[in-house]
């Protein structure tokens, strides 16, 4: 009986999901988590070999996955991925926008001040994070909108950041871009529900500090010890450590499943208490 209730609230059997940035550390963990919950998962990323590797790992564990090599900033490639998903599985129920990141030129450090920030670098970070969320929402979200109200409705989950909510030094472009993702999430939640019905929901997850490919050198020295920035972050995280990628999965499954059918337009922090702590 208890298992049946949990399955009804959190199970994703017969659901079809696509994860942009599914080739990355966090995106890959989320894709595997959705698959373990019963979903069929499309792994979208620029690196074809890595997308195929993640899809193969999922398939070898008894779930169903497919690689979708595509650039999130290329509408034509996204449309091709959408058609491949529909041809194989006939529908799309879940979109997770996990692609994004920062670029070194848009990060202030050393002698580089805000007044030295190149407009091109700022624009590149905005494109990667904001436009890279907008375009998949348009291309894949259109399929979800057409099916709103059918088969349990649909869910879009964007990946935000603590940088959108708290002022973090140096990452000016990334912070602005993720703050825009938060705003886009709330705007879409209202627009899509009003236009297509409450069966289509848009929410976001704001991870705290997780060690990934892009930020490893900022947080950890080569010997695995904390950098000065890493130590500052840990000192301001009540949990006293960085997050583990799998710790995002439960929140993601909840937001994608029927248990969150009345949750719309929220940004959920998964941050070990970082956002709650004043530092005092």
Catalytic residues: 174
Backbone angles phi, psi at 82, to 5 degrees: -60, -45
Distance CA 247, CA 223 (A): 25
Q: How far is CA 120 from CA 46, 103, 107, 123, 250, in A?
A: 22, 11, 12, 5, 37
Question: Rounded to 5 degrees, what are φ and ψ at 269?
Answer: -80, 135
For 29, the token pair is: 């963990």
Question: Which whole-number Å values give the CA distances from 16 to 57, 88, 99, in the listed order?
Answer: 17, 10, 18
CB 198 within 8 A of CB 187: no
Taking the C-alpha atoms of residue 104 and residue 136, their distance in angstroms, rounded to an integer, is 25
Helices (H), the chain: 2-10, 25-36, 48-60, 75-89, 119-126, 132-139, 141-146, 172-196, 216-219, 228-235, 249-256
């Amino acid at each position: 009986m208890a298992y049946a209730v949990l399955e009804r609230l959190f199970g994703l059997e017969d659901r079809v999901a696509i994860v942009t940035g599914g080739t990355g550390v966090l995106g890959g963990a989320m894709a595997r988590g959705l698959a373990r919950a019963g979903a069929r998962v499309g792994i979208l990323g620029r690196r074809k070999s890595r997308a195929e590797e993640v899809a193969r790992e999922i398939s070898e564990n008894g779930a169903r996955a497919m690689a979708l090599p595509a650039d999130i900033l290329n509408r034509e490639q996204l449309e091709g991925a959408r058609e491949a998903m529909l041809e194989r599985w006939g529908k799309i129920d879940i979109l997770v926008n996990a692609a994004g990141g920062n670029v070194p030129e848009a990060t202030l450090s050393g002698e580089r001040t805000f007044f030295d920030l190149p407009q091109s670098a700022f624009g590149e970070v905005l494109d990667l994070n904001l436009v890279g969320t907008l375009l998949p929402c348009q291309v894949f979200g259109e399929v979800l909108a057409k099916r709103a109200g059918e088969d349990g409705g649909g869910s879009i989950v964007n990946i935000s950041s603590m940088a959108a909510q708290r002022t973090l030094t140096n990452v000016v472009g990334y912070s602005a871009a993720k703050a825009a993702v938060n705003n886009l999430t709330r705007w879409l939640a209202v627009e899509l529900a009003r236009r297509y019905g409450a069966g289509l929901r848009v929410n976001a997850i704001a991870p705290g500090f997780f060690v990934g490919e892009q930020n490893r050198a900022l947080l950890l020295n080569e010997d695995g010890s904390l950098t000065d920035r890493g130590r500052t972050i840990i000192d301001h995280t009540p949990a006293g450590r960085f997050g583990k990628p799998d710790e995002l999965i439960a929140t993601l499954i909840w937001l994608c499943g029927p248990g969150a059918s009345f949750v719309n337009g929220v940004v959920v922090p998964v941050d070990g208490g970082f956002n709650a702590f004043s530092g005092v």
